[in-house]
Structure 1
């Protein structure tokens, strides 16, 4: 009998890592046809988020209410009722012990073992089912099938929009790669280009006039020449006419986002575990009845873990680097859970205290010394081999 012909009901609990409840279910090589979500009354919203995604994938979902108490005997009795009910069901029963409070997991584990049920946890490090019962069963790899919109959905967010679903234009990629290779020589020019692109007149996309420092900055003039060669801008005297909003965004630091995203997209051919990616991803979530919007520069799902990448070509003002690091850490934790990885790609160096803060927050920094070889550095990071 094939695995996917076997009928299995998975019992899972609501907790901090909802993807661990989802990924075993949607793996075609792991038998499953029904999910029972054990939850407390106050967790209804989380239950509905998980239930919706599982049902869209074509699986049956049932809910089981557990008492809100610290009394393990009461919780144990509740799970005994559940497993007694499941004893009459035609499918096998497996317990996913990846989520829940410690006393809930211990109570469920003890009851499941008494009823001879298979018990597993989804181990984040290996992205695999590690079996607690039967004890000698080999770990079962979990396929990387979840997509970004599903990941965000079970984590209480909604993916509203994203750019460049099909990658970026080849000519823009060439420019971006050339600029990366000259990173150490282009810092002053890029700062001035950011300024010109940031301050344009209304909807005309015409910059302020260049001052003498700009006109005499070889790196800026080289950058403008690159853009003009591809008809992305037109230099008219001292002013720069950007073709449209997309071109203005590209010149105002968007090029680093786009080249970073193009590398992530390209790496999917080399990293089978890279299951989905996104550029300029807009996320919505509800906090105390208010809709909060966030935008992520570049994201990737690798081995069912979210990787968030912020890209900056501007110098940080005093304290700005630390503020940026806290923002990245906060967003990563809220949107991607405990397993999320985050990184900052920056053209300008962080000071020692900011670097220490990044290390403390486990944020990987791709600074000017590393972005010359950004693609290979990203590959090592995505595979977990931090430099």
Structure 2
């Protein structure tokens, strides 16, 4: 049978030399056979290895009984799966029942009959080979599932980053903004996942989805005209009104994608919440829907703080970065008006980590200027 060893390894345990000689002589032509004259020696051989494929165990041993040996074998992880055929001269059925209850695979009555013994040994070896084959198949399937999940996750990540970088090609903010805000969101999630108000929502899986979705928060800016995105100077009231539509346009783009694949994906639902609501304010004065307090989805509340903090501490073509301390004070000033108070508390709790992210991935003035020049060159290009 497929999966069976070419030559099986058997261990025969019997304290009667004549019985040992009979079984060894019967099985040796087809198998590799070792013998033990006591239960203690059998366990010692198993400890030393290599482990046998099958054990034939006499129950009526002097010293440690066969029942105790069987119990020890089944209680030890390394030997628990080895099939054990028990042998006994008792004919009242009690030994057989007790042995099978302790985990024996089969029972042979003395005096053993050669053909029966060979058939029972072969059957147990084939059954073991089938179990091993099934375990190997199950392990292969688990590995294949993990591989496919990993591939799907990578494809998903690549698609998200491609969309996010598409937004970057129209946005004065550089790609490091995506990396920084993604890091801030993870830090806030880690600080909040055991908070009584957040722990039910912030499972580890959902945290990963939020971090994965964060780069899509400004995807709607691809629909904003270059003249507004790249304007040198303040926006007019009508221009600002148009700029604010990027949150709804981002939500609509992701929603259409979700509709067309005809299968709800949790990360897309979170991405929609972030895209549409990350400019909402805790007091209801934000946009586009004027949501307030707990009406604002949790992912959007975290993204709101991450986005504002990054805007404060990052260099822009029209401003220098605020000092970390000043930006921190502005976040605190927004507690209960712009931001969820508990999210602000989480910000303070992981402040050191957030500052490290801001500094490790900071834009230089040269990088910002080069990015802006590329955008303006694109704006000026024909077509």
Please confirm whether the aligned pair reaches a TM-score higher than 0.5, indicating the same fold.
Answer: no
TM superposition score category, shorter chain reference: under 0.3
Task: Name the larger-Rg structure.
Answer: 2
Higher share in strand: 1
- TM norm structure 1: 0.22
Q: More helix per residue: 1 or 2?
A: 2
TM-score, reference length from structure 2: 0.22
